[in-house]
Structure 1
Amino acid sequence: MPDGHADKAKHLTSLGSAFQSRFEHLGRLGDIENAILVNQQAVDLTPDGHAGKAAQLSNLGHAFQSRFKRLGELRDIENAILVTQQAVDLTPDGHADKARQLNNLGNAFSYRFEHLGELGDIENAILFRHQAVDLAPDGHAWKATWLNNLGSTLIFRFEFLGELKDIENAILVNQQAVDLTPNSHVGKAKLLSNLGSAFQSRFKHLGELGDIENAILVKRQAVDLTPNGHADKAGQLQNLGSALQSRFEKLGEPRDIIEATVAYKQATENTSSSPFTRYHAACCWAILCSKYQSPSSALDAYTVVLRIIPQVVWFGQTVHRRYEQLPKIGRTINAAAAMAISVEDLPRAVEWLEEGRSIVWKQILQLRTPLDELHQQHPDIADELLKVSLALDKAGTSSFQNIDSEVKHKSVEEEAQNHRRLADQYEELLQQVRKLDGFGSFLRPKKFSELAPAARNGPVVIINVHDSGCDALVVCPSTDIIHVPLPMFSSGEAVKMHSGLISSLRAGGVRDRETFQNLMNYEVSTFILKEILNKLWVFVAHPILSAVEGILYENSHASLPHITWCATGAFAFLPLHAAGIYGSDDPTKNLNISDFAVSSYTTTLTAMMGSGSKLKQDLTKTPSVLIVSQPGTGKEFLPSVAQEVEVIQRYTSPNHTCHLTHELATVGAVLGEMSKHEIIHFACHRTQDMENPLNSAFSLYDGRLDLNTLMRLSLENAELAVLSACETATGDERVPEEAIHLAAGMLAIGYPSVIATMWSICDPDAPLIADKVYANLLGHCDNSESQRVKLTPAYALHEAVKHLQEEVGEMNFVRWVPFIHFGV
């Protein structure tokens, strides 16, 4: 049918409705993508004054809402509100479709309320849904559905504000919706489930047994009416499990717990349902098993949780959306690991902690994995996988700033759909590869036997923090995992310590690479930090060092052995490398970790595996160094940057050095040079964006070199990045398991070793650290007789920090503690 045909838009609308219906039954993402595509075409083909325009806009809004429920991308619900509001505005009062348009607009506001929690959205949702119900006569085919929607919205407002009249009205209108709908109606199950939710909500508020009995009764009916394989089935089962759990908590009948766990388990098995629903059901199942059933059943449940996580934090989502999913996932992983530790399945605990940390970084690195072995045996599928991997790695990164808004909207939509199609293709190719002989574990999470070599240069200490307690798992070069319980520590203590650390830095007036202010509060800051480092020593570091004392030195070829910290939760923000007893009147009682070992940090064991082989210093080869300096201007001027560059150049030759500064240090120039040099040194300001961590950046002459841009690089010859800027290893406390900071970014793009800062550094300290680090790394390039041992970066920084301690005083913690080493 040609585009100019009078019926073209009508048939596109029908096709969109068919795709929408199949999506609602089977939950296939491709169907809702197609529904949006053809509904948008129908809208575009229909002139503004056309009588059918409002209905087409409403259908498009409904499709956007459905995809929002599936993927959670805020842009979809914003678009849904926009086009549905247009549909309402185009529909005159008295028109037969007015009630439907109002209901759809109410739905859109309700979904946005669930996502953002803003009261104005739920008020709008109730207003428009009420209007829809009021406009529908009793015999209207959609009256029951609209009553049900109004009831759901009243439940949300009740749970938000706690006003009893809202839940009373919700039960009333939900019951009316059920009574108006015959059992044979396809939507009856959803109405029953929502009525059950209203009863359960009132039960939680008033505690009346009749309410939870009614909730279970109607939720059972909802499950029975929903066929297996239907997209709604997991949600109905999860709702039933929740009601049974509530009754157990009231009456203590073991039967309810058994039935609840069965319902949650069945919900996880309904693969056509939303991954978010199935993940939540799996978590509920695991928690119930942990509390009331056997550890083995809890481990089974957590195994399913881990299996669903890649569908929740999915390649086809934007990186920003993936990060939004991670805070709850991190806590679940800690709980899973704690359960595995409790039954002494230490390898599984390590595997799960590895699988659940730095999820997004690992996804990025996975797309850049060399396919050499696959290419040798199956070149065709290797080429196809490489092509899709490269495209998926770059997906979603185009910029549309200077494009007409309508064109921009369509371009963003097309790119998002293309991104998701690539993710589907990638996953299909992985499944094909895993069916080939010898490739069954291709790009699957690593088993412990594959992770253990990360400890080849010294023990790696993984610290798990959970409500049930804290534990250290020490992965050793030559023995089994050593479990060190930390009974004197808790997740709450770690959070409290992190809060104290932040307070102490504020008290000390630590600012961005400038001389610290508020020096009269220096004593307060020092006292708090001293207490934190003391506790870390007594309750964490000393028990761990005592447990590994026998093996700590057996692999050490230097004066001190090497230890790597891999911490979870709030521990990820605590200075474990500086734990110790300082300032004692008896000098013999002053002890700290640096007396016993050289410390490094890692985001994951995988990060050490990928880069360990790269860092083999060729002492005959002088590494090339890229220096990027940007002292800034005015108030933000960094006076010591010039001196910092000068001391680095003492140890490098002009032939092996590139210095970009002032107007030469542009984003494009730095990106262009990074692949040509083994070492990069940033001496500049940085910006930390806590709202969108991927916008954290180095401040250069013409703008910001941000984490999002760096993530697109993949460097092969990189050896070391020195980030002489503030807070380059601080991260985001909302997602401690992800290490969303510039240091982790440099590790991910190919630098096996990174020197970074936990908080703001004092500007004059940067040249002191640089001088000793490069002297230890490179020696004096102009002195051919100098045969001094060239240290690896971790040892080079260790010596440099010791020197800084001597200069500023060991008790001046804010000055020397922030300098840390990541990687190998």
Structure 2
Amino acid sequence: MAYVSYSRQEGPSEADQWADLNWRIPRPDDPLPTSDTKMSAGAAWRAARSGMNAYRAYAESGNAAQLDAAIEAFRRASAGRAGDTPQFSHVNNLANALLDRFELRQKAGRATRTKDLDEALVCAQWAVWGRSGDSPDAARGLATLGRVQKQREASGVLPRRGPKLESVSLRLAAMPSAPLADRVAALRQISRSKPAFRTSFEAIVKTLPRTLAWIGPQGNRRQLARETTKAVDELIGLALYDNNTTRAVELFEASRGVLWDRVVGHSAPTVVRRKAAAVARRMDRAADCLNEHGGAAGLRHMAEPRRRGGQERRADARLRRRQVRQQKIWDTTSSRAHAVLREEAKRRDTGKPEATFLVPDYARDILPAAAEGPVVCVWRQDYRILAFVVQEGHDAPRSLELGHVWGFDEVMEKYLLAIDDVSSETREQTVRKTLEQFYPIFRQLPWYLFGQDYDPADDPRRVWWCPSGLLAMLPLHAVALFSQNVDTKAWLPGEQRGMGAVAWIPDETARRMMASSTCLLDVITSSYTPTVRSLVWAREARDAKATTAGVDESRSPNMLLVTADQESRLESLPGSAGVRKQIQKLIPPNRLSLLSGKLASVRQVLHAFDHHEAVHFDCHSFRDPRNPWRSGLVLYDRPLTVEDLVDRSADRLDFAYLAACATALTDEQLPDEMITLAATLHYTGCPHVIGTLTPSTDRSTARVTRNVYSGLISADGRVNSEECARLLHAATSAERTRLPDHPTAWSPFIHIGI
């Protein structure tokens, strides 16, 4: 018989105890630091309100004196509660204010004393002890304690006291009541060896549809929270850390185009609101409740003080009960909403209602986009440039670390300043330097995409780019080598850590690549896409049009030419005039509609979209960096803005050419959404759009445009839109041959769509 000595068995670890939401956190050993002056509960509440007002003033002005006043007020408020159960809001707010003062003094080089950090730890422990289980206040207290412990570890001047940061993070990451940003920040602190990491990760992903794709009636439909966008980026990095590239790509796609789908009206919430209004209203109410955290408005981690501690607890308990009830309602109504979406998808031959407000499934929603060529999603994490490759023949996406760009933000800042300053003498030099700096990072992609059988002598193969962040402002298709003093050693770095190594490029292949190519234009025919799924939707729409092309005889191919000449009070450029004459010569009069002068009004142009299959805009454009929705094309009466295009369907159009400056350059503040004129036309139904990333000269634009139309328009005047990507590639390559050292003449032109 085997005997077991139970006395030698160890109990559950600290982390395992903290991970259990039902485990009662022990009472802190240290006494709560409070003022010597005792006061009534009402006076304590008034002191807490005074502290909140002072803290708000500090948050707006950064005045350290206001922060000191807030700390003293919170300290007095903490003394107004008799017994061992301090009011949560007082001690939680005091802990945050003390930590802020320590960090402020540390930045100024005056944090030699750690008294504030000691007091903040004690207060945070009391706050967490006062709130256990799963509740908004408990989540806020844990977030505060996590901040304190993280700062203590970073300072390195104190011995370990209190719970470990990993234990606190385990509990916070698994807490549904915590805000998304706090849960993601806690998840970063958990080692991947913990089984709780994957459980917490998937639990967080489950809440993303409510945060990203479904927006309640009180939400701002034209702005995404920066905090949410940053949290999703961190989730992508954590998925890569866990060797889950498929989930990383799904999250990458889930975070893109969310705002566009809402505004354009093709999103799943829009369809549900139109087809099942009662279901949508219940989901709106549930989402509003589940996204409520009950704290002080506009002050993260701060609790709103109430007059009595009992009121505080009851309000927190009521909110938690409501959230539990609304979560059940959300789960039920979500199933009904998906049934509505499936029915709508069957009714329609094509269209975005097939999308759902779930995180997209890779095999169903993303992989089909690579049916006609690989899709390369480019993503930046700190100084690293990574690519997620979606390609047929591979059941899972591949992750490739392309290289490092030290000082990325500074490089892009110089580049963006240069392209906007057309008259600057250093503009061309800066653009050359930037493209040359990124060339070693992207030049290995053709071999990686097409394998050992890749031959640079072959015709350029088709590739779709889906860049994110500031990378969306770069002409990735045109990165090039302009001088021979750059290291030209062909190398292929390993994939994302933990995903296996990739062999180096064979010497013979490397020599052939470098001998025949100094620019990606030589080896790749590039197109861009705002989201991966938009390729799937655009191809489905194209196939549906092809099946009805011979049935509807009224859909005779015709083209709309919108021009701005002297009659419209705008400068007429010689190159643009030559392009207009070419179009009028190639297309018969009965298939060409010309809108110029007074006829080139916003109302006339938008109305003409319903009766034409191609459109060419020959006019000036402008960008509004503060409000990208107001960027537009200059017409006779007023600008044709992104907002105007959003409200008008472009399903009839097959091709659009925007011969204006920076019509495909996204906004610096919200680059992932790709809010541009060219992207707008693509999102609203046009499968092929040609635009520009930067301003270009009239002569270069005219030469590229003439070369495109020479092959695009057939002898009978038909526009063969399917060839526009190949023709644009040939035209830009010819312009590069003509002006190899002037990249602003050939790098701006891009094709968006299929």
Regarding TM over 0.5, the answer is yes
* 8 A contact 2:91–2:126 mirrored in 1: yes
Once the 2 structures are TM-superposed, how far is the Cα of residue 781 of structure 1 from its aligned partner? 2.1
- Return the letter of the residue paired with 1:217: V
| Corresponding position: 1:594 with 2:521 | yes
Once the 2 structures are TM-superposed, how far is the Cα of residue 570 of structure 1 from its aligned partner? 2.0
CA distance in 2, matches of 1:635, 1:625: 24
| Corresponding position: 1:384 with 2:285 | no
CA distance in 2, matches of 1:387, 1:170: 45
Determine which of 156, 165, 168 is the counterpart of 1:257.
Answer: 165
Q: TM-score, normalised by structure 2?
A: 0.72
CA distance in 2, matches of 1:500, 1:774: 34
Determine which of 735, 748, 766 is the counterpart of 2:683.
Answer: 748
CA distance in 1, matches of 2:270, 2:99: 53
- Return the letter of the residue paired with 1:798: H
CA distance in 2, matches of 1:680, 1:207: 67
CA distance in 2, matches of 1:182, 1:708: 59
CA distance in 2, matches of 1:452, 1:224: 48
- Return the letter of the residue paired with 2:429: F
Residues 221-243 of structure 1, C-alpha deviation per residue, up to 9 Å, x if partnerless?
33444576765443333223322
CA distance in 2, matches of 1:474, 1:457: 14
Residues 273-309 of structure 1, C-alpha deviation per residue, up to 9 Å, x if partnerless?
xxxx6122112212323xx554865555554554444
CA distance in 1, matches of 2:209, 2:356: 15
Q: 1:435 to 1:479 in 2, by over 3 A?
A: closer
Q: CA RMSD in A?
A: 4.1
- Return the letter of the residue paired with 1:631: D
Residues 363-410 of structure 1, C-alpha deviation per residue, up to 9 Å, x if partnerless?
3467356999x9xxxxxx983369979xx9xxxxxxxxxxxxxxxxxx
Once the 2 structures are TM-superposed, how far is the Cα of residue 777 of structure 1 from its aligned partner? 2.0
Once the 2 structures are TM-superposed, how far is the Cα of residue 728 of structure 1 from its aligned partner? 0.8
| Corresponding position: 1:735 with 2:735 | no
| Corresponding position: 1:758 with 2:693 | yes
Q: 1:436 to 1:719 in 2, by over 3 A?
A: closer
- Counterpart for residue 795 of structure 1: 726
Once the 2 structures are TM-superposed, how far is the Cα of residue 821 of structure 1 from its aligned partner? 0.7
Once the 2 structures are TM-superposed, how far is the Cα of residue 353 of structure 1 from its aligned partner? 0.8
| Corresponding position: 1:821 with 2:736 | no
CA distance in 1, matches of 2:692, 2:355: 37
CA distance in 1, matches of 2:709, 2:194: 52
CA distance in 2, matches of 1:658, 1:437: 39
Determine which of 547, 550, 574 is the counterpart of 2:451.
Answer: 550
Residues 95-130 of structure 1, C-alpha deviation per residue, up to 9 Å, x if partnerless?
xxxxxxxxxxxxxxxxxxxxxxxxxxxxxxxxxxxx
Residues 145-166 of structure 1, C-alpha deviation per residue, up to 9 Å, x if partnerless?
3311322343455567776654
Matches within 5 A, 1:287-436: 287-289=188-190, 294=193, 300-313=199-212, 315-316=215-216, 322-326=222-226, 328-364=227-263, 367=266, 383-384=275-276, 430-434=334-338
- Return the letter of the residue paired with 2:650: L
* 8 A contact 1:494–1:571 mirrored in 2: no
Determine which of 518, 523, 537 is the counterpart of 1:610.
Answer: 537
CA distance in 2, matches of 1:368, 1:200: 42
- Return the letter of the residue paired with 1:759: T
- Return the letter of the residue paired with 1:531: K
* 8 A contact 2:568–2:596 mirrored in 1: no
Residues 535-571 of structure 1, C-alpha deviation per residue, up to 9 Å, x if partnerless?
322122x2212212328879x9x94310111112221
Q: 1:361 to 1:386 in 2, by over 3 A?
A: farther
- Counterpart for residue 406 of structure 1: none
CA distance in 1, matches of 2:341, 2:705: 51
* 8 A contact 1:287–1:298 mirrored in 2: no
Once the 2 structures are TM-superposed, how far is the Cα of residue 659 of structure 1 from its aligned partner? 1.8
- Counterpart for residue 347 of structure 2: none
- Return the letter of the residue paired with 1:823: G
Residues 581-611 of structure 1, C-alpha deviation per residue, up to 9 Å, x if partnerless?
2365999565211221211111111111110
Matches within 5 A, 1:207-226: 208-226=113-131
- Counterpart for residue 561 of structure 1: 461
CA distance in 2, matches of 1:751, 1:486: 33
Determine which of 455, 463, 466 is the counterpart of 2:370.
Answer: 455
Q: 1:652 to 1:551 in 2, by over 3 A?
A: farther
- Counterpart for residue 176 of structure 1: 76
* 8 A contact 2:650–2:681 mirrored in 1: no
Determine which of 648, 652, 656 is the counterpart of 2:583.
Answer: 648
Matches within 5 A, 1:66-145: 142-145=42-45
Determine which of 433, 441, 445 is the counterpart of 1:531.
Answer: 433
Determine which of 631, 640, 650 is the counterpart of 2:565.
Answer: 631
CA distance in 2, matches of 1:166, 1:240: 23
- Return the letter of the residue paired with 1:218: C
- Return the letter of the residue paired with 1:601: Y
| Corresponding position: 1:245 with 2:150 | yes
Once the 2 structures are TM-superposed, how far is the Cα of residue 779 of structure 1 from its aligned partner? 1.8
Determine which of 552, 575, 594 is the counterpart of 2:475.
Answer: 575
CA distance in 1, matches of 2:189, 2:194: 11
The structure with the largest helix share of the pair is 1
- Return the letter of the residue paired with 2:433: E
CA distance in 1, matches of 2:256, 2:142: 30
* 8 A contact 1:434–1:441 mirrored in 2: no
Once the 2 structures are TM-superposed, how far is the Cα of residue 663 of structure 1 from its aligned partner? 0.9
Residues 245-279 of structure 1, C-alpha deviation per residue, up to 9 Å, x if partnerless?
3334344749421332034225x412xxxxxx612
Matched pairs, number: 616
Q: 1:629 to 1:487 in 2, by over 3 A?
A: closer
Once the 2 structures are TM-superposed, how far is the Cα of residue 195 of structure 1 from its aligned partner? 1.8
* 8 A contact 2:181–2:228 mirrored in 1: no
Q: 1:687 to 1:309 in 2, by over 3 A?
A: farther
CA distance in 1, matches of 2:389, 2:599: 46
Q: 1:591 to 1:333 in 2, by over 3 A?
A: same
Once the 2 structures are TM-superposed, how far is the Cα of residue 612 of structure 1 from its aligned partner? 1.5
* 8 A contact 2:367–2:392 mirrored in 1: yes
* 8 A contact 1:278–1:308 mirrored in 2: no
Q: 1:157 to 1:296 in 2, by over 3 A?
A: farther
- Counterpart for residue 400 of structure 1: none
Q: 1:302 to 1:323 in 2, by over 3 A?
A: farther
- Return the letter of the residue paired with 1:241: G
Q: 1:388 to 1:310 in 2, by over 3 A?
A: closer
CA distance in 2, matches of 1:505, 1:802: 20
- Return the letter of the residue paired with 2:428: T
- Counterpart for residue 632 of structure 2: 697
* 8 A contact 2:276–2:340 mirrored in 1: no
* 8 A contact 2:696–2:745 mirrored in 1: yes
Once the 2 structures are TM-superposed, how far is the Cα of residue 707 of structure 1 from its aligned partner? 1.3
* 8 A contact 1:726–1:760 mirrored in 2: yes
- Counterpart for residue 387 of structure 2: 472
Q: Which segment is superposed worse, 329-338 or 531-540?
A: 329-338
CA distance in 2, matches of 1:333, 1:438: 27
- Counterpart for residue 502 of structure 2: none
- Counterpart for residue 154 of structure 1: 54
- Return the letter of the residue paired with 2:92: S
CA distance in 2, matches of 1:551, 1:365: 43
- Return the letter of the residue paired with 1:539: I
- Counterpart for residue 658 of structure 1: 593
- Counterpart for residue 496 of structure 1: 410
- Return the letter of the residue paired with 2:557: P
Residues 50-72 of structure 1, C-alpha deviation per residue, up to 9 Å, x if partnerless?
xxxxxxxxxxxxxxxxxxxxxxx
Which secondary structure does the structure 1 equivalent of 2:403 belong to? coil
Once the 2 structures are TM-superposed, how far is the Cα of residue 670 of structure 1 from its aligned partner? 1.5
Q: 1:166 to 1:676 in 2, by over 3 A?
A: same
* 8 A contact 1:625–1:680 mirrored in 2: yes
- Counterpart for residue 189 of structure 1: 88
* 8 A contact 2:447–2:454 mirrored in 1: no
- Counterpart for residue 100 of structure 2: 201
